[in-house]
Each structure stands twice: as structure tokens, then as C-alpha cells.
Amino acid sequence: MGLLSKKDAKLITDPLADNNPITIQVLGICSALAITAELKASIVMGISVMAVLGIGNVVISLMRNIIPSKIRIIVQLVVAAALVIVVDQILKAFSYELSKTLSVFVGLIITNCIIMGRFEAFALGNGPWRSFLDGIGNAAGYAIILVIVGFFRELLGSGTLLGFRVLGDPIEKTGLYALGYENNGFMLLSPMALIVVGVIIWVQRYKNRALIED
Amino acid sequence: MGLKSSLHNLKEKYKGTKMAPAFNAIHTFLYTPNDTTHGGTHIKAADDLKRTMNTVIMALIPCLIFGMFNAGYQHHYALGEIGKASGFFDPVFWSWNNLTIGLWKVLPLVVVSYGVGLAIEFLFAVIKKHEVEEGYLVTGMLVPLIVPIDTPLWMLAVAVAFGVVIGKEVFGGTGMNILNPALTIRAFLFFAYPTWMSGDKVWVHGAVERSNEIAGGANLDAISGETILGSLAQGHQSAYSLSEMFFGMIPGSVGETSTVLILLGGLFLIFTKIGSWRIMLSSVIGALVMGLIFNSVVSSGWITESSKFYTLMSTEFWHHLLLGGFAFGIVFMATDPVTASQTNKGKWIYGFFVGFISIMIRVFNPAYPEGVMLAILLMNVFAPTIDHFVVQGNIKKRKKRLKVKAA
């Protein structure tokens, strides 16, 4: 890779698969269950977390030598909270409907374990460029799971993708619905999101046996 | 060459190959293999897992046959083609006409349930390289009995696949599951396709079709196939007599309507020591206690007729035993030896709460008129905890006894 050294590239690629924050570290499950009923919400949530984590990691990394270690958690919280409020306001300004769907969960990014985890574990000990890559990588790992879960839940639960009726119209009975197909209401409920995440974890560990914990 | 030896030869032929477990399963399905194990100590007993499963299936057969007749009877009766059956042995009920509809509608449910479920069991046996487990034999028979007659077959297939994989195989297969697989399948159907699992259209064959025709402008009478619990939940009095409830000539899921045949199956299970009488009895006690509490709430005047719970609460406490799937649930599913409590004391506690919570859900949540499914699933989750405390209590008691002796 020309742009990034091998070591830096690993910061981005590792969290995508073998060190994924959701499926391996099992962090940030709450929001993954709550907002993935629609693909669009999943994507926006992924981008929001990416913005907060990418910028936040840089800010924490820049301040890492002046933060007294006794109050570092509070400083991290303030940084995360400030960024989350900015993201929330932007969402409200530019896509109000979507921000209503995401409701409280944008605000709850502050408490997302992935954010605090990366601040604490990485940004406090690394330079801003590497911290930035780490933040983007982890947020992308989070986002990719959200998108997969959101894809299946929206497709099977509502028969749509990003709002388009890809399987036909359930009321006019076109497409698949003409054959008697029906949407699976269970997919729209949170328990099913947990099961979908579980299945992803299962498939991932089946493909890469080294990930199986004893 | 007999079937048994040809199966044996097949098994020898495929020994060590990938498909070996599948052939083993066919070989040992009904026969005891010729080759015996050597070395070590073995318990020799007739009632292995397969025998246990087959006993339960035998207990279910009367319910299945009755369910077939009832499916046809409900259909023809709703269309006004036949009159009401006057008693359990009325030929109006046990007619060939009724049976043909039953066979036509119920057998596909059975075939799909077994086909999909066993295919998955075989698949996992081959992947995991172990013997095929018999766990699905009973589940496969229970599933068609606890779904509405008009359930689309593909929905059943999806639900069975979900129930077997997520409800059982991910935990490690037969004997390791936390939740009863048959109820997992039903719960999946219930939450995924609620319009096919509740309401007043799905319990009688043809009612959905008829309502579509009426919506299309046909001049026909709608079929009302409301279950008794469904109409009670809406505040109507039931249109069925007690004897009809007891004998089972009422709309409902395929095989759960006839309390008398379920009772028969239950006695058979108790007699063969397959089902736990402790669980059955304590469930009945739990249900009666909850029913009595509701009855006394009504009689002491705490709620009036304007309350939406009034009709169900004022239902005589022992009628609850005859209504809905309660009897079927506690006889065939609460007693599942894998998911129920294992200790004797635990069984009493477990059963009591199954009955207690069933009636509570039934009365308080009209959206889930059949509380027994959710109650059993809930108590399945708690069963290991109950066992834990029973065992701990026993250890404590014995330690105390030991101390007294030592002192």
C-alpha cells in the first residue's frame, strides 16, 4: 500500500473482521439491536459513530500528554459528548425524519462502549494520525455489522431496502407477494436483531476457527 | 435378505464416509443393531431415547386423528353443511367427509414439519460428524398439532428451520436446548406472522379464503371461527357448551382441542413413566389457584363489568383447564424432560408457575389469548435456576444435619 504503511493499514482492516468491535469484543450491542430495523438508519448510525470516533480519537490523542490521568475518563466523556451533540444537531438540521427514527440512540453514542474503549485503549497512547485510523477502522467495523443486520432485517421484515420495495408491493400483491410470501414481523423486533448478530458471530467463527474462545 | 440386514450392509458399506451418520440413523431407527458394544460396563434397558420418543408419539396419535376429524367438522359446520354434533360419538363428527378434509390439510403439515426438521438434523449430524439425534421425532409431531389448520406450508418450513437451528442446534443439539423446540417454532410463527396465528379467521379451514372472496365482492356469509378464548377476550360469552370443550368439537389449533384425548395421552405418559405427573399436577394446581384469585377478585367486586378483563376473570376457575391449549401444553410440552426442571421439588415449583402464569397471561393480555406457550417458554428459562436452588437447599440441609450429628 502506497498511502499507508502496513502497520497503519492493519489499524483499519483489523477491526473490520478479526477484531470486530461487535462480533469479537461484543461492544456496542445495544444500539446494534435498537436501530437496525431499517438499513438507512443503520448506515447513518454507522457514519455518525465514525465521525465521533474519528475526530474524538484525534482530539484525545492531541491532548494525551496534558490530560491528568485522574480525570481522563471525564475528559473523554466531555469530548465524546461535545461531538455527539454536534452530530445530533447536524442530523436534526438536515434530515429531521431520520433523526426522529434514531431518536435517543444518537445521544447514547456517548455511552457506546466502543467510543470510550478506543479513547482509553488507543488514543491515550498513540499519535493523532494512528489514532485517527484506529477510530475510523473501529467505527467501520461497527458500521459494517450494523449494515449487515439492517440489510436482513429490512429486507425480510419490511420487504424493502432503503425504502424501495424490492420484493414487490404487499398490498397490491405484486412480485413475491403474489406467490403468497409475507413479511416476517419478528424481524422488526429487537430479539431478532440479537439472533441475527448471533448468526453473524457464528458464521465468522465457523470460517475462522482461531477466533473461537474457550 | 431382510430389511434389517440390508440396512446393516448399507451401514457397513458407508462406514467412515461423510454420510455415515445418516445411514446409521436409518439403521437404528426402528431396529436394534446386531453388533453389540464390547468392553466397559453398559446398562441394558429397553427404554432408550428412541423408545421414549416413540411412546410420546403414540400418546399424540389420538389427538392427531381427532384433529383431522375436527378440522373437517369445523369446516363443514361453519359452511352450514352439517349440524352440530350432539356428543362425542355422534356420526356427524366421525364422518368420512370430515376425515378427507382433515387428511388433506393436516398431513401436509406433518410431512413438512418432519421433512424440514429431519433434513436439518441430518445435515448437522453430517457436519458435526456425530450420530443423528432423535430429538426431532416428538417435536415434529407436536408442531403440526399446535398450529392453525390453514398455516401456509412455507411459513411452517421457515419456522421449523428457525426453531431447530436457533432453538436447538446452536446450543449443541438434542438434550442441550434451553427452550422447548416445538414452542420455539410456534412462538416464531406467532411473532413473525401474527395474522396467520391469531384472530378469528385462521382456526377453521376455509375462513381466510371465504373472507377474501367476500372482500372481492362475493355474496357469501363470512365464516366466524373465533376460538373460545378469543371471544372471551373480546368480552363475548362463549357459544360452546362444557361438554363440547371437554370433548374438543371447538375451533382451535389442529390437535389441542380435545381435553379428553389429551387426558388419555397424559395418563398413558404417566403410566409409562415418560411424562412427569408432578409437573402436570402442579400445573393444574397453579392454574386453579390463579383462576380462584381472579374469581375472588370478581366476587369481591373489585372490578365491574365495564372492565375489559371482566369476562375472562369471571370465567369459572376450572373452565380454564378446558380452554385453549392449556391441557395440551402442560401434558406434552411442559413435561419435556430436557427443558423442564430435573429435581422433584423443582418440578413442583416449575409446574406451579407454568399454570399460574398461563392463566395470568391469558387474562391480562388479550393480544396473547394463549398464555400457555409463553408461560412454558418463560419457565423453561428459569428451570435451571430453580434446580440450582433446590440442589443448594438440599446441600445446606444435609450439612446442617451433619453438624447436628457431629455435635
Domain segments of chain B as ranges: 48-274, 276-407
pLDDT digits (tens, 9 = 90+) for A113-123: 888 888 888 88
CB–CB contact B193 A182 (8 Å): yes
State how far the Cα of B105 lies from the Cα of B71, in Å rounded to an integer: 8
Tell me how close the Cα of A151 comes to any Cα of chain B, in angstroms.
17
Q: Which residues of A touch B154 (CB under 8 A)?
A: 180-181
Amino acid B281: pLDDT:
93
State how far the Cα of A42 lies from the Cα of A39, in Å rounded to an integer: 5
Amino acid B396: pLDDT:
93
Amino acid A21: pLDDT:
83
> Which of the 8 DSSP states describes residue B223?
P
Q: Is B405 exposed, middle or buried (0-12, 13-18, 19+ CB in 10 A)?
A: exposed
ipTM: 0.83
Among the partner residues A180, A181, A186, nearest to B188 by beta-carbon distance: A186
- Number of CB atoms found within 10 A of residue B3's CB: 9
Choose the mutation target among B150, B164, B165, B166 for the interface with A, i.e. most A CBs under 10 Å: B166
First to last CA, chain B: 72
Choose the mutation target among A158, A181, A184, A194 for the interface with B, i.e. most B CBs under 10 Å: A184
CA angle B61, B65, B69 (to 5 degrees): 165
Least CA distance to B194: which residue of chain A? Answer: A185
Distance of CA A2 to the CA centre of its chain: 28
Q: Grid coordinates 382433515 are at which residue? A: B102
Amino acid A213: pLDDT:
74
Least CA distance to A199: which residue of chain B? Answer: B166
Put simply, whether A32 touches B (Cβ < 8 Å) is no
- Number of CB atoms found within 10 A of residue A93's CB: 9
Put simply, whether A173 touches B (Cβ < 8 Å) is no
Alpha-carbon torsion (A109, A110, A111, A113), positive or negative: positive
CB–CB contact B192 A184 (8 Å): yes
> Which of the 8 DSSP states describes residue B343?
S
User: In which region does residue A38 sit, left (phi positive, over 0), alpha (psi from -120 to 50) or beta (all else)?
Assistant: beta
CB–CB contact A187 B192 (8 Å): yes
Distance of CA B70 to the CA centre of its chain: 17
Q: Kindly report whether the global pTM for this prediction surpasses the value 0.95.
A: no
Put simply, whether A189 touches B (Cβ < 8 Å) is yes
Q: Which residues of A touch B152 (CB under 8 A)?
A: 180
Contact of B180 with B336, CB cutoff 8 Å: yes
User: Where does chain A have alpha helices with state H?
Assistant: 6-13, 29-34, 39-63, 72-94, 96-102, 104-107, 113-121, 128-158, 190-207
Angle between the B181-192 and B136-145 helix axes, to the nearest 10 degrees?
A: 40
Strands A164-165 and A160-161: antiparallel
pLDDT digits (tens, 9 = 90+) for A4-33: 777 788 888 888 878 888 888 888 888 888
Residue scoring higher pLDDT (B215 or A147): A147
State how far the Cα of B206 lies from the Cα of B71, in Å rounded to an integer: 10
Containing B28, the helix (H) or strand (E) segment is helix B20-30
Amino acid B347: pLDDT:
93
**Under 8 Å CB-to-CB from A123, ≥6 apart: which residues?**
A56, A57, A58, A60, A61, A64, A131, A134, A135
CA angle B141, B144, B145 (to 5 degrees): 85
Put simply, whether B161 touches A (Cβ < 8 Å) is no
Residue scoring higher pLDDT (A192 or B221): A192
Q: Name residue A160's beta-bridge partners.
A: A165
CB–CB contact B155 A195 (8 Å): no
- Number of CB atoms found within 10 A of residue B319's CB: 14
Block mean pLDDT (10 aa), chain B, length 407? 71 71 66 66 68 86 90 83 78 84 89 92 82 80 89 91 89 85 91 81 75 68 70 73 82 86 91 89 93 87 76 80 86 89 92 92 78 91 93 92 81
User: In which region does residue B324 sit, left (phi positive, over 0), alpha (psi from -120 to 50) or beta (all else)?
Assistant: left
Q: How far is CA A190 from CA A8, A30, B67, B253, B400, in A?
A: 36, 10, 35, 28, 47
Put simply, whether B170 touches A (Cβ < 8 Å) is yes
CB–CB contact B193 A184 (8 Å): yes
Least CA distance to A189: which residue of chain B? Answer: B191
Put simply, whether B194 touches A (Cβ < 8 Å) is yes
Put simply, whether B124 touches A (Cβ < 8 Å) is no
Q: Name residue A164's beta-bridge partners.
A: A161
State how far the Cα of B56 lies from the Cα of B43, in Å rounded to an integer: 22
Instruction: Tell which residue, A74, A73, A109, has the closest CA to residue A90.
Output: A109
Q: CA dihedral defined by B34, B40, B42, B48, rounded to 10 degrees?
A: -60
Q: Which residues of A touch B170 (CB under 8 A)?
A: 198, 202
State how far the Cα of B229 lies from the Cα of B312, in Å rounded to an integer: 8
Least CA distance to B166: which residue of chain A? Answer: A195
Choose the mutation target among A171, A173, A182, A197 for the interface with B, i.e. most B CBs under 10 Å: A182
Tell me how close the Cα of A23 comes to any Cα of chain B, in angstroms.
16
State how far the Cα of B89 lies from the Cα of B109, in Å rounded to an integer: 26
Instruction: Tell which residue, B235, B263, B239, has the closest CA to residue B249.
Output: B239
Among the partner residues A181, A187, A202, nearest to B170 by beta-carbon distance: A202
Q: Is B59 exposed, middle or buried (0-12, 13-18, 19+ CB in 10 A)?
A: buried
CB–CB contact B154 A180 (8 Å): yes
State how far the Cα of B94 lies from the Cα of B300, in Å rounded to an integer: 45
Q: Which residues of A touch B193 (CB under 8 A)?
A: 182, 184-185
CB–CB contact A189 B193 (8 Å): no
Least CA distance to B170: which residue of chain A? Answer: A202
**Under 8 Å CB-to-CB from A52, ≥6 apart: which residues?**
A80, A83, A84, A87, A109, A115, A139
Among the partner residues B158, B166, B194, nearest to A195 by beta-carbon distance: B166
- Region A159-168: what's the mean pLDDT? 82
CB–CB contact B170 A180 (8 Å): no
Among the partner residues B158, B191, B193, nearest to A189 by beta-carbon distance: B191
Among the partner residues B154, B170, B194, nearest to A185 by beta-carbon distance: B194
What phi and psi, each to the nearest 5 degrees, are found at residue B342? -95, -35
Domain residues of chain A, as ranges? 22-211
Put simply, whether B157 touches A (Cβ < 8 Å) is no
- Number of CB atoms found within 10 A of residue B401's CB: 10
Tell me the DSSP string of A153-213: HHHHHHSEETTEETT--TTTT-GGGGGT----GGGGSHHHHHHHHHHHHHHHHHH-GGG--
Residue type at position B1: M
Put simply, whether A198 touches B (Cβ < 8 Å) is yes
Instruction: Output the nine-digit C-alpha cell for A80.
Output: 465524546
State how far the Cα of B284 lies from the Cα of B202, in Å rounded to an integer: 28
Tell me how close the Cα of B248 comes to any Cα of chain A, in angstroms.
31
A1: confidence class by pLDDT, cuts 50, 70, 90:
very low
CB–CB contact A182 B170 (8 Å): no
**Under 8 Å CB-to-CB from A74, ≥6 apart: which residues?**
none
pLDDT digits (tens, 9 = 90+) for A171-190: 777 777 777 788 888 888 88
Distance of CA B113 to the CA centre of its chain: 13
Least CA distance to A195: which residue of chain B? Answer: B166
Put simply, whether A212 touches B (Cβ < 8 Å) is no
pLDDT digits (tens, 9 = 90+) for A33-80: 888 888 888 898 899 899 999 999 999 999 988 988 889 889 999 999
Instruction: Output the nine-digit C-alpha cell for A91.
Output: 442530523
